A and B are shown apart, each in its own frame.
Chain A
Amino acid sequence: MLCAVPNFVSFATLFIKMAKTKFTKETYLNWYEQMLLMRRFEEKAAQLYGQQKIKGFCHLYIGQEAVVAGTLSATRKDDRHITAYRDHAHAIALGIPSREVMAELYGKVTGCSKGKGGSMHMFSKEHNFFGGHGIVGGQIPLGAGIALADQYRGGDQVTICSFGDGAARQGALHETFNMAMLWKLPVIFICENNGYAMGTSVERTTNAPDMSIIGKGYDMPSFVVDGMHPETVHEAIAEAAERARKGEGPTYLDVRTYRYRGHSMSDPAKYRTKEEVEEYKKKDPIEVVKATILKQKFAAEAWFDEVEAKIEGIVAEAVEFSENSPYPDGSELYTDVYAEPNYPYITE
């Protein structure tokens, strides 16, 4: 399915080709709305970054939307989520209001991390979002630890721990995979494999470019998943979550996806050909879901216009809210560093 792109080697035996599940109209409409919101939000973020309204590093999720959409439809509200710095879409899809995510990009006090996190550090305890993390692979042991706490308490929540193909080369992943299997932690490791560790393609980082094999050294159930379709992602996640809830431990999913933009806003992505990007755009997850909705007659063209208008309104409101929100006072540097209220900071 994705083999047209040369940097992906032949898929492993457990490739989930087509979803077997019949998905409802509601699911499809939800996916479409959710993915379109992610897309339009990110497009606006890119525009605002160009205007320097948003600073710092800014990693966009455009192209990868089906991964989050399929993950969320297959998990429960009380399941946990943690990811790397490409985290805006995860935050929005989990239900953090777009205005709070946008305000965080602006560095405003009304942001979901009070302007202290920025693009790479969205958090919401309320939405079980354990954050966007900035050290490549650093969130992988954290995700296993979140799962350990649920297992410890006897809960049946599952932790979804996402990372990119670059992070898979960090020692933290391998140490964590070993312990997660040893202790049968209820965690699903998702490698959002977009083929590039920043500017370095998968095959330039390893002698063994089949990313699906890295779980196998730990006997971890491992699957290659088509990440351009929410159906296949949903199915893989649903099976993995069931295993985790039954106490059978973690699953590793090598989810093949693609980002249309550079690694971050400052990356012109000259390491890829135009043809490669265009090839993927033909399989755009949002367009594919739209086609299915139309084919199944779940909705007519008018509905898509309504959704587009609604999302445009949400994004516009998010920008307005962010523009009108204040920055945190400089003195807020000294809050939320320690849970202890009266920590004696050195100020001279």
Chain B
Amino acid sequence: MRVIQFREALREAMTEEMKRDEQIFLMGEEVAEYNGAYKVSQGMLDEFGPKRIIDTPIAELGFAGIAVGAAMNGLRPIVEFMTFNFSLVAIDQVINAAAKMYQMSGGQFNIPMVFRGPTGSAGQLGAQHSQAFENWYANCPGLKVVVPSNPADAKGLLKSAIRDNDPVIFMESEQMYGDKGEVPEEEYLIPIGKAAVKREGTDVTIVSFGKIMKVALATAEALAAEGISCEVIDLMTVRPIDYDTIIQSVQKTNRLVIVEEAWPLASISTEISYMVQKKAFDYLDAPIHRICTADAPLGYAPTFVQEFLPNVERTTKAIKAVLYKA
């Protein structure tokens, strides 16, 4: 199978869908003439013209709201945030407008649109550029939140997100755009709301999503050498969460470790821990463990980055703890 970059997979998804449906357009800072801050939309201005690939001023609140209004009136916008850190300026339009419109109008105005861009930290960028808001958006009914971990999933999920008739938050990573992976040439869609078992195992379940899936898979690989068999689940969507896949796995392995890039309080791991204790309490042979980020803003120095993020070492320790092998 051919191998392409994550950013190319995203571009293919948008390009294919835009060819299918005239109502889709892409809007954001530097998406057109600059070819995208991270080159996701490279060449799309040439292909679709300025009517459908729209450069905006630096005005996230304004252009997010304009896109929601366009969605109310029949278009299917894709809004690119240069990073979801900047989406906080626009969050009124995401939460108060996009997520509420269908309900407030008694089912008259749905909002078929995608807000996409990179989430999470990406090295030494300092506190304001190093935040993960998956759980913030996942908390809000009316939204769907998708966080792919590799190019093939990214393409299939983004195509589904663009076709979805509800507002979808689609979160990528600066550190994944250059990742290469096998991506089928023929058309395919990956459904929103379904997790995938990315590695089968019997001793412990690891749940993760997005960029941190690399840590989960690397940990599983390393532990295999020690004779520990990890089952790794990629959530892919964090609203809605595919609890069934997690519960089924825990019923088999009886142990659960959740790994995510998020501050610990009210994170996705908090939510999953609740649901697993509620639905599979009798199957658990050990308390659930989780690896989150440090409960602090991420400072600039490299030592902070090292200390802040989930890694293989910390995940290994958690797995050994739930196996009582520490």
Same assembly = yes
- Chain A residues packing against B (C-beta within 8 Å): 80, 82, 111-117, 121, 123-125, 130-131, 133-135, 138, 140-150, 152-153, 171-172, 174-176, 178-179, 182, 335-340, 343-346, 348
Alpha-carbon distance A82/B105, docked complex (angstroms)? 13
Q: CB-CB < 8 A to A338: which residues of B?
A: 102, 142, 144, 166
The A/B interface has a contact count, at CB < 8 Å, of 152
Most chain B CB neighbours (cut-off 10 Å) among A115, A178, A337: A337
The A-contacting residues of B in range 118-134, CB under 8 angstroms, are none
Alpha-carbon distance A123/B97, docked complex (angstroms)? 14
Q: CB-CB < 8 A to B64: which residues of A?
A: 141
Q: CB-CB < 8 A to A80: which residues of B?
A: 73
Chain B min CB distance to A231 (Å): 30
Q: Which residue in B71, B74, B102 is a CB contact (below 8 Å) of A337?
A: B102
Q: A179 and B104 in contact (CB under 8 A), knowing A152-B70, A344-B193?
A: no
Contact B278 A179 (CB under 8 A): no
Contact A336 B103 (CB under 8 A): yes
Q: A113 and B66 in contact (CB under 8 A), knowing A80-B73, A146-B72, A152-B25?
A: no
Alpha-carbon distance A175/B240, docked complex (angstroms)? 33
Q: A146 and B73 in contact (CB under 8 A), knowing A117-B104, A179-B56, A340-B165?
A: yes
Stretch at the interface among B106-114, B216-224, B227-235, B262-270: B106-114
Q: CB-CB < 8 A to A337: which residues of B?
A: 102-103, 141-142
Q: Give 24 CB contacts A-B under 8 Å.
A: A82-B69, A112-B106, A114-B106, A116-B105, A117-B105, A135-B96, A141-B61, A141-B63, A142-B69, A142-B72, A144-B65, A145-B68, A146-B70, A149-B72, A152-B70, A153-B74, A175-B57, A175-B62, A178-B59, A335-B107, A336-B105, A338-B142, A345-B141, A348-B278
Q: CB-CB < 8 A to A348: which residues of B?
A: 278
Chain B min CB distance to A142 (Å): 4
Contact A339 B166 (CB under 8 A): yes
Shortest beta-carbon contacts, A-B, top 3: A145-B69, A141-B65, A175-B62
Q: CB-CB < 8 A to A125: which residues of B?
A: 105, 108-109
Which residue of chain B lies nearest to A342 when distances are taken between CB atoms in the complex? B193
Contact B109 A145 (CB under 8 A): no
Q: CB-CB < 8 A to B106: which residues of A?
A: 111-117, 123, 336
B92 at the interface (CB under 8 A from A): yes
Chain B min CB distance to A346 (Å): 8
Q: CB-CB < 8 A to A133: which residues of B?
A: 97
Which residue of chain B lies nearest to A175 when distances are taken between CB atoms in the complex? B62
Q: A144 and B69 in contact (CB under 8 A), knowing A149-B75, A179-B59, A337-B142?
A: yes
Contact B107 A142 (CB under 8 A): no
Chain B min CB distance to A75 (Å): 16
Contact A176 B240 (CB under 8 A): no
Contact B68 A339 (CB under 8 A): no
Contact A142 B68 (CB under 8 A): yes
Which residue of chain A lies nearest to B193 when distances are taken between CB atoms in the complex? A344
Contact A339 B102 (CB under 8 A): yes
Contact B92 A138 (CB under 8 A): yes
Contact B102 A178 (CB under 8 A): no
Given contacts A153-B74, A178-B57, 7 further A-B contacts (CB under 8 A): A130-B72, A144-B62, A152-B70, A175-B59, A179-B56, A182-B57, A339-B110
B293 at the interface (CB under 8 A from A): no
Chain B min CB distance to A162 (Å): 14
Q: CB-CB < 8 A to A124: which residues of B?
A: 108
Alpha-carbon distance A141/B166, docked complex (angstroms)? 19
Contact B75 A339 (CB under 8 A): no
Q: CB-CB < 8 A to A346: which residues of B?
A: 240
Contact A141 B165 (CB under 8 A): no
B20 at the interface (CB under 8 A from A): no
Contact A121 B104 (CB under 8 A): yes
B18 at the interface (CB under 8 A from A): no
Which residue of chain B lies nearest to A344 when distances are taken between CB atoms in the complex? B240
Contact B165 A143 (CB under 8 A): no
Q: CB-CB < 8 A to B203: which residues of A?
A: none
Contact A113 B104 (CB under 8 A): yes
Q: Which residue in B69, B92, B108, B166 is a CB contact (below 8 Å) of A148?
A: B69
Q: Which residue in B51, B67, B166, B240 is a CB contact (below 8 Å) of A145?
A: B67
Chain B min CB distance to A157 (Å): 9
Chain B min CB distance to A90 (Å): 14
Q: CB-CB < 8 A to B254: which residues of A?
A: none
Which residue of chain B lies nearest to A182 when distances are taken between CB atoms in the complex? B57
Chain B min CB distance to A199 (Å): 23
Instruction: Annotate B73-88 by CB proximity to A: 1 below 8 A, 0 otherwise.
Output: 1110000000000000
B182 at the interface (CB under 8 A from A): no
Contact A340 B65 (CB under 8 A): no
Alpha-carbon distance A142/B97, docked complex (angstroms)? 9
Chain A min CB distance to B160 (Å): 11
B179 at the interface (CB under 8 A from A): no
B33 at the interface (CB under 8 A from A): no
Chain B min CB distance to A347 (Å): 11
Most chain B CB neighbours (cut-off 10 Å) among A130, A147, A336, A340: A336
Alpha-carbon distance A175/B58, docked complex (angstroms)? 9
Alpha-carbon distance A146/B74, docked complex (angstroms)? 9
